């Protein structure tokens, strides 16, 4: 299967290439794509160098799937051009997530809604992805009524420049480029994306709206506080969820254990709980600190961690591509011709 990776020279683009290789996705021809200033550069895939090509050349090559990780403006302008050429686009930006005509997909939760007619498929926000993977089995059993989530998000979610800022500050370099309005090393910023008129940030409202769309239930109430912290391994979330039905704590743990893509790390007596350090480089969503909220009925607290560059972006996109291939929702033969 011919695969294009748009934004192949970026942080997430590089992770997509790594995940495609690790999961042995059947790539017959790789087409790395980036902006004009990166055309001609090389990226590595499975130990071999590949030359970055332009958007126009990528469309002309007619890949079966193009995985986009090149920013919202690029996706808005170019994803329709790829789609019109018969190429299925899986887009990592926020450009199409809340478009009612475009599916917003987390494979463990709602891949079953995909059809061959879906030519632009949106990959959700990283913080939303890990939360809904954990919520899905609980919603099916007890029906989620309300979610209160506080996130602790890695600087990798902002990109390479943010990682560079963190380590420059740690090394005492005051001249490095700054992507945050304040120092991030030894600090916490309750500010991800822009502030909106309602006092929430765009990141917080993404979690509200995307959760409802992915879960297919507008009745779920979500409120979020999203926070940037100086880590690089992944995003962490403290999740408080109220259900319509009463739950049994042992059954909740068992539901997590049996859920696709979830690993339970919940042994406080031995100091075992999810952490970005141990989630780094993994594709699963880790849950722990599972306990009843003792202040109100039918309410659960748990802690949730996932590598935001993997499950929160690259892996989720590749899993969508795997689903499309497995269920023959893309025409690989036509793309090769």
Tell me the pLDDT tens digit for each residue of 283-315: 999 999 999 999 999 999 999 999 999 999 999
Query: Which residues, listed in sequence order, are joined to residue 306 by a DSSP beta bridge?
Result: 235
Given 139, 182, 209, 235, the catalytic residue? 235
- For residues 216-225, give the mean pLDDT: 98
Q: How confident is the model at residue 4 (pLDDT cuts 50, 70, 90)?
A: very high
Q: Is the pLDDT of residue 42 over 90?
A: yes
For residue 309, give the 3-state DSSP assignment: coil
CB 237 within 8 A of CB 304: yes
> What counts of helices (H) and strands (E) characterise the chain?
11, 13
Q: Which residues contact 250 (CB under 8 A, 6 or more apart)?
A: none
pLDDT one-digit tens code per residue, 55-75: 999 999 999 999 999 989 999
Q: For 103-129, what is the mean pLDDT?
A: 98
**Each residue's pLDDT tens digit, 248-274:** 999 999 999 999 999 999 999 999 999
The superfamily (CATH) of domain 127-306 is Dihydrodipicolinate Reductase; domain 2 (3.30.360.10)
Could you please report the per-residue DSSP string of 131-177? HHHHHHHHHHHH-EEEEEEEEEE-GGGT-HHHHHHHHHHHTT-SSS-
Task: Assign domain 2-95+313-336 to its CATH architecture.
Answer: 3-Layer(aba) Sandwich (3.40)
Question: Who contacts 271 (Cβ-Cβ below 8 Å, separation ≥6)?
Answer: none
Q: Is 43's pLDDT higher than 90?
A: yes
The CA-to-CA distance between both ends of the chain, in Å, stands at: 11
- Domain residue spans of the chain: 2-95+313-336, 127-306
Print the SS3 string covering 8-30.
CCCHHHHHHHHHHHHCCCCCCEE
pLDDT at 331 over 90: no
pLDDT (0 to 100) of residue 135: 98
Q: What is the rounded CA–CA span in Å between residue 31 and residue 54?
A: 10
Q: How far is it, in rounded angstroms, from Cα 75 to Cα 10?
A: 15
Give the pLDDT score at 51.
97
What distances in angstroms separate CA 248 from CA 221, 254, 271, 334, one per listed residue? 22, 10, 23, 51
Decide if 54 contacts 78 (C-beta within 8 A). Answer: no
- To the nearest whole percent, how much of the chain has pLDDT over 90? 95
Say whether 127-306 and 2-95+313-336 share the same fold.
no
| % the chain with pLDDT above 70 | 98
Residue 248 and residue 272 in contact, taking contact as beta carbons nearer than 8 Å: no
The token duo for 273 is 């709980």
In a 3-state reduction of DSSP, which class is residue 244?
coil
Instruction: Kindly give the pairing relationship between strand 299-306 and strand 262-264.
Output: unpaired
Tokens of 242: 């109220």
Q: Collapse the DSSP code of 294 into the 3-class scheme (helix H, G, I; strand E, B; otherwise coil) and give the result.
A: coil
pLDDT at 337: 42
| Residue 304 annotated among the catalytic residues of the structure | no
pLDDT band at 333 (very low <50, low <70, confident <90, very high): low
C-alpha to C-alpha distance for 220 and 5, rounded to whole angstroms: 34
The 10 Å CB-count burial string (b at 16+, else e) for 236-250 is bbebbbbbeeebeee
Catalytic residue, candidates 126, 139, 280, 304: 126
Please tell me the predicted confidence (pLDDT) of residue 175.
86
DSSP code for 87 = P
Q: Are 113 and 103 in contact (CB under 8 A)?
A: yes
Query: Catalytic residue at 327?
Result: no
Tokens 């902002």 appear where? Answer: 158
State pLDDT tens for residues 160-217. Answer: 899 999 999 999 998 889 999 999 999 999 999 999 999 999 999 999 999 999 999 9
């Amino acid at each position: 299967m011919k695969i294009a990776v748009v934004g192949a020279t970026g942080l997430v683009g590089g992770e997509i290439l790594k995940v495609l290789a690790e999961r042995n996705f059947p790539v017959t021809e790789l087409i790395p794509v980036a902006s004009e200033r990166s055309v001609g550069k090389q990226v590595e895939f499975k130990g071999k160098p590949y030359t970055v090509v332009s958007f126009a050349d990528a469309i002309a090559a007619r890949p079966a799937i193009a995985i986009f990780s090149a920013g919202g403006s690029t996706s808005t302008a170019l994803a329709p051009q790829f789609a019109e050429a018969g190429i299925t686009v899986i887009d990592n930006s926020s450009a199409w997530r809340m478009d009612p005509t475009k599916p917003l997909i987390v494979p463990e939760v709602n891949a079953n809604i995909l059809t061959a007619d879906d030519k632009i498929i949106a990959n959700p926000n990283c913080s939303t992805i890990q939360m809904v993977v954990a919520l899905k089995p609980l919603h099916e059993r007890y029906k989620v009524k309300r979610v209160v989530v506080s996130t602790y998000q890695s600087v990798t979610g902002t990109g390479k420049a943010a990682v560079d800022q963190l380590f420059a500050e740690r090394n005492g370099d005051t001249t490095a480029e700054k992507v945050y309005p304040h120092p991030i090393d030894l600090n916490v910023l309750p500010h991800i994306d822009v502030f909106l008129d309602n006092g929430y940030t765009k990141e917080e409202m993404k979690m509200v709206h995307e959760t409802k769309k992915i879960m297919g239930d507008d009745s779920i109430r979500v409120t979020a506080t999203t926070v940037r912290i100086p880590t690089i391994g992944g995003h962490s979330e403290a999740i408080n969820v109220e259900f319509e039905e009463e739950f049994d704590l042992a059954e909740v743990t068992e539901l997590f254990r049996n859920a696709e893509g979830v690993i339970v790390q919940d042994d406080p007596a031995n100091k075992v709980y999810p952490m970005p350090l141990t989630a780094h480089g993994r594709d699963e969503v880790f849950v722990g600190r599972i306990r009843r909220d003792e202040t109100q009925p039918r309410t659960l607290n748990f802690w949730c961690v996932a590598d935001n560059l993997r499950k929160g972006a690259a892996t989720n996109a590749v899993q969508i591509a795997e689903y499309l291939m497995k269920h023959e929702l893309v025409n690989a033969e036509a793309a090769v011709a």
